[in-house]
Every structure is written in C-alpha cells, then in structure tokens.
Amino acid sequence: MYIRVTTNSKSTAYYHLVESYRDQGKGRQRALLSLGRVKDGKLEQLAEAIRE
C-alpha cells in the first residue's frame, strides 16, 4: 500500500490510499480510501495515522 497524489481537472490535488494486487497474473492498483486534499504537513499526519 502507498499514498498516491492525484489531481482533478481544476488542478486540485488529493491523497488516496492505494493497494497493489494481481488479477489474472497482471499487476493492478485500486484506490481504497480518499484521504482528502493535499496541504502542507498533512502527509506526515496521514503517514503517522496509518502506522498506528
């Protein structure tokens, strides 16, 4: 699992918790959870919350 940053058409960035898995031998990824908008210092808070 990892945190991916995506942007929408208005260039607003968001964090998503993403899982990697295999489907019929091919690598796939799926977003498990939307974690909100990208803000300064928020990534460290999210990483700490996930570790707990």
Q: What is the DSSP letter of 47?
A: H
State percent of the chain over pLDDT 70.
Answer: 100
For the cut 80, the answer to whether the pLDDT of residue 31 exceeds it is yes
- When divided into structural domains, the chain yields a total of 1
Compute the average pLDDT of residues 44-48.
Answer: 79
Domain range enclosing 37: 2-51
The per-residue pLDDT of the chain, averaged, comes to 88
Q: What is the pTM of this model?
A: 0.71
For the cut 90, the answer to whether the pLDDT of residue 40 exceeds it is no
Report how far Cα 37 is from the mean position of its chain's Cα atoms.
Answer: 11
Q: How confident is the model at residue 51 (pLDDT cuts 50, 70, 90)?
A: confident
For residue 9, what are its two tokens?
């058409």
For the cut 80, the answer to whether the pLDDT of residue 9 exceeds it is yes
Rounded Cα distance between 17 and 25, Å, is: 22
